[in-house]
Amino acid sequence: MTGSVDVGGVPLRRPRHSLRPRDWGIAARSAMVSAVAVFIALTVAAVGLLTLLNYLLLSAVDDAAGARVADITAVLEADGPGDVDEDLLTTDQRVTAVQIIDADGRVLRRSSGAPSTPLAAAGTFGPEPTIGLPDEMSPRDDMRLAGRTINTPTANYVVIVGGGSEPVEATVRTVAMLLAALVPVVTAVAAFVSHRLVKRSLRSVDAIRSRVAAISTSDLSGRVPVPGGRDEIASLAV
């Protein structure tokens, strides 16, 4: 909606602020376009970064669990569960549980904090190493599983190693929160800088427009100011 005033008997329209982008100034529209473009680009980059980070951290957990399964397998094939060194049963941030189970499902050896019942159902693991089973396979739903069935001349065993997925989830969640706070800030800065640059560029246009408006048919000697540089605005002024 617009209002009108009379100047020398000539009605002039006075535009009011509109929420429609097409009614905005060039600087405001440029700022909006820059903000939308930066926001989309940063969002896509953030999702890609979080996906890659989650993949790399989980791969490190699976590699640690798989290596522990291989080390315990080597001992079981050479000796027996009683000869497995305590160091192979220790846990850390990546390896959170270790179990050695016999053919009847009894837990023969386990790490501190590991449950006395098997971490996975019987038949989950075969003679080939299985690594990276998701959290849903764990009864407590808080670790990834790796394991293998070992057939020896004296007995059969199952080695199960749980990899810590909770630290990975916590790390990814923290990074996601930081990115969620950073994206709006960067978007706002990009919009502000774009608005300022376009506004500054339009000052020359405003000067030209004001000067042209002051030139009358009775005095054509007036000249519009020519800004420095060789851009489109300078060509327009010339």
Give me the residue label for tokens 């798989």. Answer: 66
Q: What tokens does 12 get?
A: 């002039």
pLDDT given at position 120:
87
pLDDT given at position 216:
62
pLDDT given at position 217:
58
Q: What tokens does 111 get?
A: 């790490």
Half-sphere exposure of 229 (CA within 13 A, CB side): 9
Please state the three-class secondary structure of the chain as a single string: CCEEEEECCEEEEECCCCCCHHHCCHHHHHHHHHHHHHHHHHHHHHHHHHHHHHHHHHHHHHHHHHHHHHHHHHHHHHCCHHHCCHHHHCCCCCEEEEEEEECCCCEEEECCCCCCCCCCCCCCCCCCCEEEECHHHCCCCCEEEEEEEEECCCCEEEEEEEEECHHHHHHHHHHHHHHHHHHHHHHHHHHHHHHHHHHHHHHHHHHHHHHHHHCECCECCCCCCCCCCCCHHHHHHC
In this prediction the pTM is 0.74
For the chain, 238 residues long, the average pLDDT of each consecutive 10-residue run is 46 54 74 92 96 95 95 90 90 92 90 89 87 81 89 90 92 96 94 87 75 67 66 66
Q: What sign has the CA pseudo-torsion 108, 113, 115, 119?
A: negative
Which residues, in sequence order, are bridge partners of residue 11? 6
pLDDT given at position 63:
95
Q: How far apart are CA 123 and CA 103, in angstroms?
A: 10
pLDDT given at position 23:
65
